[in-house]
């Protein structure tokens, strides 16, 4: 998708602080972190949201969680714990319509209501 900011980050057209990249996923630090470690993990193939997923996307989206596990270990937050979040559509707080998994850690997280 030509106007998607995350697609542009994946292609290297917009600078980011990448922490992981392979043929299926890219991960980079959030520019407005909500925790000491706040990394966005995105599929390299554009998928608007969880609601836009097809059966063909299941393996790709599941792979994001495997990447999150690797990055949590790499960042030194795996043992202490971390939070994974996917927001779907505007009422949930999705502002970039390219599926992305938030990896948050580096401090004790509060209970979510």
Instruction: Just list the catalytic residues.
Output: 100
Distance CA 100, CA 56 (A): 17
Residue ranges of the domains in the chain?
35-106
pLDDT at 112 over 80: no
pLDDT at 113 over 70: no
Q: Please report the pLDDT score of residue 58 as a whole number.
A: 95
Structural domain 35-106, CATH architecture? 2-Layer Sandwich (3.30)
Residues 55-92 pLDDT 10s:
999 999 999 999 999 999 999 999 999 999 999 999 99
């Amino acid at each position: 998708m030509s106007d998607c900011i995350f697609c542009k980050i994946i292609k290297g057209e917009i600078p980011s602080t990448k922490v992981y990249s392979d043929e299926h996923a890219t991960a980079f630090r959030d520019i407005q972190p909500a925790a000491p470690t706040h990394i966005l993990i995105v599929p390299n193939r554009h998928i608007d949201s969880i609601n836009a997923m097809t059966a063909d996307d299941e393996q790709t989206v599941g792979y994001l969680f495997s990447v999150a596990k690797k990055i949590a270990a790499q960042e030194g937050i795996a043992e202490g714990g971390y939070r994974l979040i996917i927001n779907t559509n505007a009422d949930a707080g999705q502002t970039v319509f390219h599926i992305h998994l938030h990896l948050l850690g580096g401090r004790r997280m509060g209970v979510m209501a």
